[in-house]
C-alpha cells in the first residue's frame, strides 16, 4: 500500500485512528490489518460488506469463535515443507481443525460467501477411534507395537514398587530400554502423521485466509454501522462526497467542546481550488477527502451521506506531511523537490493530488505566483488536484472553486473575546461553491479585532491595509 500512499500521510489524515476502531478478534485478522492491501475487486468486496452488515446479529457466535484461534501459520508452513511436527504442533493443529469445523458449522449456514472448508480428515487423523476432544497424544491406536511396548513398560513400573533393591536396578535398566523403544516408535509415528498432514494442511491454509477476511469484514461492517458510513459508487468521472466527515478530526474537535462541521465537495479531473483564511479548516477538508478515497480503495464504506469515487493510482500530497525533511533543504526547497516528483507521476497516470498551502514558506509575492502556476498546470491532467490556498488570484474560470465561509459576520462584534476557543465558536467551517471570482477573506484582520488588539497598533494596521 506504500506505493498508493506513504505512511506519514496515512497517519496525518487519521487512518490509524480509524483502524483502531475496528473490532478484530483473531490473530489472523490482526495480521491481515497490519498488511492491508488495495482491493482489486471492489464490487465483490462491497457486496460482502453489505451482506455482513445485514447479518451482524447472526455473526455474533462467529466472533466468539474467532477469539479462540491461535496463529498457526508458521506450523502449517513447516508441515508443508516436510518438517516432522512435535507433540505440541500436532496438538495445536488438531485444536485448530476442531475450531475451524465449529466455525464452519455456525458461519457457512448464514450463506454470505467465503465458506470455510471441512477439516474432518485432519481431525480423524489426529483422533484415531477417539471422540473429537481437545487433546492430543501418540495414541496406542496408531501402532500395535507401541501398545505392546507401553503395556510392558507399565508392568515394569508396577513391579518396581514391590521389588527389592537389586531387582530395582535391573528394572530401571529394562525400563530405560522400553522408554527408548517407545520414543523411537513415537518419532516414527510423528513422522508418519506429519507426512499425512502435509497432504491435508492446504485446506487449513485456505481457511486461514478466509478467516482473516471474515474477521476484517465483520470489522468493516461494524465500523460502517457505528459511523453510518455508506457504500461508495465506483465511477470514472467526478469525485463527489456529500456531508463527508473524518472520525479522527471529529473526535478531537468534539473533545475540545466544539461542534464539528460536515462538508460536501465535488472534484473534477483537473484542479479544484479551496480558498479561505488560515484557521478556516482547509487542511481538515483535504484530510477528509484523502481519508475517504483511501478507505474506498481498501474496500471500506466511507464517511459520508453519499459518495462517488473514481479509482486512482495513488494519493499524493504537498503540505500535509511533516515539515521535517531529510534532504537538508529549506522548507520551500523541499516543496519544490516534492512538486517535481508529483509532476512526473501525474504526467503518467491519474492520482488524487492534495496540495495544502503550496509555496507558503517563501515570500508572499512569489508564493502567490507559484500557487497560481501550479493550479493552472495541474488543471491540464487527469488527476484530481485539490489545492488549498490563502492567496488571491489563484483560480481560473475553468477551475472548480470552493471557499470556507469563515467568521460569522453577524456575531463578530457581540462582545470582546479572549481566546482561540472563542474564535472557533464564531467560525463557520462550511464549504461553499464559489460561483464567481472571490477574494480570499481577510480573516486575520477580523481575528485581531475580536481579540481586542491594541488601538495604537491598529492605526498602523489600518494604514497598511489601505496601502
Tell me what percent of the residues of the chain surpass a pLDDT of 90: 58
Residue 239: the pLDDT is: 97
Residue 447: the pLDDT is: 64
Residue 452: how many other CB atoms lie within 10 Å: 11
Residue 222: the pLDDT is: 97
Rounded CA separation 177/384 (Å): 78
Residue 7 scores a pLDDT above 90: no
Under the banding of pLDDT at 50, 70 and 90, the label for residue 405 is confident
Mean pLDDT of the chain: 87
Residue spans of the domains in the chain: they are 39-227, 228-466
Residue 1 scores a pLDDT above 90: no
Residue 14: the pLDDT is: 94
Residue 422: the pLDDT is: 59
What are the φ/ψ torsions at residue 429 (nearest 5 degrees)? -90, 10
pLDDT, average across residues 179-187 = 95
- Cβ pair 248, 68 in contact under 8 A: no
Residue bearing the bigger pLDDT, 195 or 8: 195
pLDDT digits (tens, 9 = 90+) for 51-92: 999 999 999 999 999 999 999 999 999 999 999 999 999 999
Residue 411 scores a pLDDT above 60: no
pLDDT digits (tens, 9 = 90+) for 16-52: 999 999 999 999 999 999 989 999 999 999 999 999 9
- Cβ pair 220, 301 in contact under 8 A: yes
Residue 43: how many other CB atoms lie within 10 Å: 9
Query: How are strands ordered across the β-sheet holding 270-275?
Result: 315-318, 352-356, 384-389, 270-275, 400-407, 427-433
Residue 199 scores a pLDDT above 80: yes
pLDDT digits (tens, 9 = 90+) for 434-458: 765 555 555 566 666 666 666 766 6
DSSP of 412-460? TTSS---SHHHHHHHEEEEEEE--S--PPP-HHHHHHHHTT--HHHHHH
Q: Which fold has domain 228-466?
A: Rossmann fold (3.40.50)
List the single range of 246-250, 286-290, 294-298, 402-406 with lowest mean pLDDT. 402-406
pLDDT digits (tens, 9 = 90+) for 364-396: 777 788 788 888 888 999 999 999 888 778 888
- Cβ pair 175, 160 in contact under 8 A: yes
Residue 432: the pLDDT is: 84
Residue 196 scores a pLDDT above 80: yes
With residues binned 3-state (H G I as helix, E B as strand, rest as coil), the percentages for the chain, rounded to 5, are 55, 10, 35
pLDDT digits (tens, 9 = 90+) for 315-329: 999 887 654 444 545
Amino acid at each position: 500500500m506504500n506505493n498508493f500512499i506513504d505512511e506519514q500521510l496515512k497517519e496525518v489524515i487519521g487512518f490509524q485512528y480509524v483502524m483502531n476502531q475496528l473490532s478484530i478478534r483473531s490473530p489472523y485478522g490482526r495480521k491481515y490489518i497490519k498488511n492491508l492491501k488495495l482491493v482489486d475487486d471492489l464490487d465483490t468486496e462491497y457486496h460482502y460488506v453489505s451482506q455482513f452488515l445485514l447479518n451482524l446479529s447472526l455473526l455474533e457466535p462467529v466472533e466468539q469463535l474467532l477469539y479462540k484461534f491461535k496463529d498457526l501459520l508458521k506450523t502449517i508452513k513447516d508441515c508443508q515443507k516436510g518438517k516432522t511436527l512435535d507433540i505440541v504442533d500436532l496438538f495445536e493443529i488438531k485444536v485448530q481443525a476442531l475450531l475451524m469445523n465449529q466455525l464452519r458449522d455456525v458461519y457457512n449456514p448464514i450463506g454470505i460467501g467465503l465458506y470455510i472448508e471441512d477439516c474432518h480428515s485432519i481431525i480423524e487423523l489426529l483422533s484415531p477411534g477417539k471422540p473429537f476432544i481437545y487433546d492430543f497424544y501418540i495414541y496406542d491406536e496408531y501402532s500395535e507395537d507401541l501398545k505392546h511396548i507401553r503395556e510392558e513398560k507399565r508392568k515394569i513400573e508396577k513391579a518396581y514398587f514391590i521389588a527389592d533393591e537389586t531387582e530395582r536396578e535391573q528394572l530401571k535398566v529394562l525400563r530405560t530400554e522400553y522408554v527408548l523403544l517407545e520414543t523411537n516408535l513415537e518419532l516414527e509415528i510423528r513422522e508418519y502423521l506429519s507426512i499425512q498432514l502435509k497432504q491435508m494442511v492446504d485446506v487449513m491454509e485456505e481457511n486461514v485466509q478466509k478467516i482473516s477476511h471474515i474477521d476484517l469484514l465483520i470489522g468493516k461492517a461494524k465500523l460502517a454501522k457505528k459511523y453510518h458510513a455508506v457504500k461508495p459508487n465506483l465511477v470514472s468521472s467526478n469525485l463527489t462526497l456529500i456531508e463527508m466527515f473524518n472520525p479522527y478530526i471529529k473526535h478531537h474537535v468534539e473533545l475540545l467542546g466544539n461542534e464539528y462541521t460536515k462538508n460536501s465537495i465535488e472534484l473534477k479531473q483537473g484542479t479544484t481550488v479551496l480558498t479561505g483564511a488560515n484557521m478556516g479548516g482547509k487542511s481538515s477538508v483535504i484530510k477528509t477527502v484523502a481519508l475517504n478515497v483511501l478507505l474506498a480503495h481498501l474496500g471500506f464504506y466511507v464517511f459520508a451521506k453519499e459518495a462517488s469515487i473514481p479509482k486512482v493510482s495513488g494519493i499524493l500530497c504537498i503540505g500535509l506531511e511533516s515539515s521535517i525533511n531529510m534532504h537538508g533543504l529549506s522548507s520551500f526547497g523541499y516543496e519544490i523537490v516534492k512538486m517535481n516528483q508529483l509532476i512526473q507521476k501525474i504526467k503518467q497516470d491519474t492520482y488524487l493530488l492534495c496540495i495544502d498551502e503550496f509555496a507558503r514558506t517563501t515570500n508572499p509575492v512569489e508564493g502567490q505566483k507559484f500557487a497560481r502556476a501550479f493550479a493552472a498546470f495541474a488543471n491540464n491532467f487527469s488527476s484530481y488536484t485539490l489545492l488549498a490556498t490563502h492567496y488571491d488570484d489563484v483560480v481560473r474560470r475553468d477551475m472548480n472553486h470552493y471557499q470556507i465561509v469563515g467568521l460569522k459576520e453577524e456575531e463578530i462584534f457581540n462582545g470582546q473575546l479572549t481566546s482561540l476557543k472563542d474564535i472557533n465558536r464564531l467560525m463557520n467551517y462550511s464549504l461553499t461553491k464559489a460561483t464567481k471570482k472571490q477574494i480570499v477573506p481577510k480573516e486575520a484582520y477580523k481575528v485581531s479585532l475580536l481579540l481586542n488588539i491594541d488601538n495604537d497598533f491598529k492605526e498602523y494596521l489600518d494604514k497598511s491595509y489601505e496601502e
